[in-house]
Amino acid sequence: MARDYNFWIYIVANRNHSVLYIGVTNRLSRRTWQHREGVKAGFASKYQCKKLVYYGIILTFIVPSLANRS
């Protein structure tokens, strides 16, 4: 059985808007907090991408279950 999820696509930038990071998450508030605080090591943290410049909702994202694959 497939499961329905709502996801957010977002773009964060560094101070000069010279580096962009594009991501997808199911909890936008938590993920933007993680970017601002630098909680996770990675590309966005390395380049100081902390400013949310765009976000939009993806209303349905269907994830098929492994049981239904042949």
- pTM for the whole thing? 0.76
Residue 12 structural domain? 3-62
pLDDT for the residue 6: 79
With respect to residue 67, please indicate whether it lies within any of the assigned structural domains: no
Q: Tens digits of per-residue pLDDT, 28-54?
A: 999 999 999 988 889 999 999 999 999
Which tokens is 52 given? 């949310």
44, with CB counted inside 10 A (0-12, 13-18, 19+), is buried
pLDDT tens track for 4-33: 667 899 999 999 999 999 999 988 999 999
Residue 14 lies in a domain: yes
Would you say residue 41 lies in a domain?
Answer: yes
